[in-house]
Amino acid sequence: MRAEIELLALPFEPMCHNLAGHNDNKGGLPMDLVPMGPGFAAELRGVTLSDIASDDAAYAAVRAAFEEHSVLVFRDQEVTDEIQLDFSRRFGPPEVTKIGSQGTGSHFVILSTIGPDGEVVPPDHRLVLRNRANQLWHTDSSFKRVPALTSILSARIIPAHGGETEYVSTRLAFERLDAPMRERLENSFAWHDYAHSRGQIAPDLASPEERAALPPQCWRMVWRNPVNGRGAIYLASHAYAVEGMEPAAGKKLIDELMAFSTAPGTGYMHQWRKGDVVMWDNRATMHRGRPWPSHEARLMIRTTISATEADGANTMRPPSSQAAE
């Protein structure tokens, strides 16, 4: 299997690769992989979320594609909360949604601009401000005690215009760096704080309860994938300081790496259609939402899977904290 998946990872070309030989799910269900972005991101055709939830071989093929391509697109899916959660659980333990988010206490994050009365909320509403925070480049959950392996986002109600999600590969960005910088980052650690990213939109967007529940976290600046050994820059809008560096110099390094990782021409922009599901590797990508006309409704449902030791999470803590755990 490795040899053929390697072939799929070779230069971006708009053609299909048939994965049928890699699985015997549903009696040889054809599963095609269509590269979508500049060196990462792919659409998988011929497979449903339910197939992957129920079939070990289908899951194995999709998991291998996930490790290689970082962003996977599934179109024309019939999605319910139950189907999405069953699919998501295949990849690991689902996060419980934090306080202050719609869906708190459940396994679902509800990204909506629809108020309790069923109407679209006004442009100065807190839900709209939170959407603006999502429009900063980030990776999900780097501000949590347990970082995220993957996020799975399904489109339930989409605006007629805008509202895309844009992705970059921080793995490809890492591989574009020169060797001394790669080595430096592998041995550097950055602090991530939810209040920092929200503070870029409005000073009080992170509530006192959220600040108390989400203390800053320190992570290695490179996440090395245990399956293929490839490193990726691990940063986000939540990152504000580099351990051991003077604050301004650390912030400058973060800003330069963010700009480098999101350079024009390196991204994949996903234009949502109803029935789309996109999953991404939070270890090897950043993403941002794009704006849409504020009077148009948008409802997206996200499930998020925590990273485990098998996903490399244990390599991300500073050595002193690893020793303390």
Contact residues for Fe ion, defined by CB under 5 A: 140
Least distance (Å) from Fe ion to the CB of residue 138? 6
Q: Cα 231 to the chain's mean position, in Å?
A: 16
Least distance (Å) from Fe ion to the CB of residue 117? 26
Q: 10 Å Cβ neighbour count for 255?
A: 12
Tokens encoding 62 = 């999709």
Residue with smaller CB distance to Fe ion, 77 or 139: 139
Least distance (Å) from Fe ion to the CB of residue 202? 18
Q: How many residues does the chain have?
A: 325
**Residue closest to 313 by CA, chosen among 296, 325, 297, 301:** 325
Are the C-beta atoms of 92 and 311 separated by less than 8 Å? Answer: yes
How far apart CA 113 and CA 123 sit, in angstroms, is 9
Least distance (Å) from Fe ion to the CB of residue 307? 15
Residue with smaller CB distance to Fe ion, 48 or 217: 217
Residue with smaller CB distance to Fe ion, 188 or 285: 285
Residue with smaller CB distance to Fe ion, 109 or 120: 109
Letter for the amino acid at 91? F
Q: Cα 61 to the chain's mean position, in Å?
A: 20
State whether residue 221 is helix, strand or coil: coil
Least distance (Å) from Fe ion to the CB of residue 140? 4
Residue with smaller CB distance to Fe ion, 24 or 166: 166
Radius of gyration from C-alpha coordinates of the chain: 19
Residue with smaller CB distance to Fe ion, 140 or 276: 140
Least distance (Å) from Fe ion to the CB of residue 320? 29
Least distance (Å) from Fe ion to the CB of residue 134? 6
**Residue closest to 174 by CA, chosen among 121, 131, 235, 120:** 235
Residue with smaller CB distance to Fe ion, 31 or 72: 72
Residue with smaller CB distance to Fe ion, 140 or 281: 140
Least distance (Å) from Fe ion to the CB of residue 236? 9
**Residue closest to 165 by CA, chosen among 263, 290, 258, 291:** 290
Least distance (Å) from Fe ion to the CB of residue 6? 29
Alpha helices in the chain (DSSP H): 2-8, 49-54, 56-69, 81-89, 126-134, 170-176, 179-186, 194-199, 208-213, 247-261, 319-324
- Unique residue bearing structure tokens 């909506």: 112
**Residue closest to 278 by CA, chosen among 110, 151, 169, 131:** 151
Residue with smaller CB distance to Fe ion, 23 or 88: 88
When CB distances to Fe ion are compared, the closest residue is 140
Tokens encoding 149 = 């392996």
How far apart CA 149 and CA 168 sit, in angstroms, is 16
